[in-house]
Amino acid sequence: MKSKERVLTAFATQKPDRVPINYSAEDGIDKRLKEHFGLKASDGEGLLQALCVDFRGVQAMYIGPKLHEDIPERGVSVDNWGIHRRWIEHGTGGYHDFCDFPLTNADAETIANWPMPDPDQYDYSQVHARCQSISDYAVTLLCYGDLINGNGMLRGMEQTFVDLITDDPAGLLLADRRFSIQIEVAKRTLEAARGGIDILWLGEDLGTQQAPNISMEIFQKHIRPRYQKLIDLGKAFGTKVMIHTCGSSSWAYEDFIQMGIDAVDTLQPEAKDMSPEYLKKTFGGRLAFHGCISTAGPVATGTVEETIEYCRNTLDIMMPGGGYCFAPTHSLQDNSLTENVIAMYETARRYGRY
């Protein structure tokens, strides 16, 4: 099978020739993997081919003016949504952490006037050509939505949860402005792709490691209707729909099925009711699965042998009947040993065949 057929077969919860493979990593481990394969630091496509990755992405690029100024004296970068980030180093690399939360105390009027990207300021002209150039692969379009995290990056997590509990007009307006812009950009990108996009990839983190982070009532009142618009958009253009949800999130999967979602991503096995056994038994055949290979497990902390055993065990559970895509639960972290990541992908290619 070509990659596109392989992925779409798995998304239909059927058996392809082998499990589809995907990849995401932080900068440090990504650099080391390219060095391992003798690739240039800029050769992302070469690395995807070396790992036999079956997915590729397309996005319309923002070409408008910068809407919010960076704060160089504090080492803070500010993106066009106004989200503040600063670089935090740790023992094996670093990451961009969110800070300042400029809309924490903002009222509805302030949020209504907050500069955000204009869908007219994106370049859709290259989308079709990009889709054609990667047409052998499963082509994904990211349109996360990301109500909780996205609002939280601007308003702070505490205030974001208070907004959802109290129906705060300012917080809900922030969500609606963000969603409306993302939906319009996604719509124009799907139009420009002319059928070249296979998967609309959404995202909303719904759990801690131990439990949901919101009630079902709040999910159905505030989260579900906003995401239904994104799902309906994807279906109108003939795409499959996958949603990324970190933490203990299987409590929402029955609703996902009703909403028309085809696949669930991340699948952190350490979290409550997220083990491969539980997911396969409870939702197998009704949802496709993408993830399950923990970035905090043996890939990061074990030996090559432990990594192989762990990946084989996950494959043994998730492969029967089809419907599984092999991928890390999130971006591979910089503390992952290069040899473990190589072993992870070799295991998928060797033991992931039907």
CB 13 within 8 A of CB 287: yes
Give the integer Cα–Cα distance in Å for 70 and 76: 6
3-state secondary structure of 165: helix
Domain boundaries, the chain: 3-67+111-351
Give the integer Cα–Cα distance in Å for 287 and 157: 30
DSSP state of 328: E
Give the integer Cα–Cα distance in Å for 138 and 56: 6
Q: Which residue has the tokens 């906003």?
A: 226
Question: 3-67+111-351 belongs to which CATH class?
Answer: alpha beta
At residue 88, φ and ψ (nearest 5 deg) are -115, 120
Strands 199-203 and 240-245: what pairing? Answer: parallel
Confidence (pLDDT) at 92 = 83
User: What percent of the chain stands above pLDDT 90?
Assistant: 98
Digit-coded pLDDT (tens) for 252-298: 999 999 999 999 999 999 999 999 999 999 999 999 999 999 999 99
Confidence (pLDDT) at 214 = 98
Confidence (pLDDT) at 93 = 82
Confidence (pLDDT) at 91 = 85
Confidence (pLDDT) at 95 = 85
Digit-coded pLDDT (tens) for 297-325: 999 999 999 999 999 999 999 999 999 99
Interval 186-195 mean pLDDT: 98
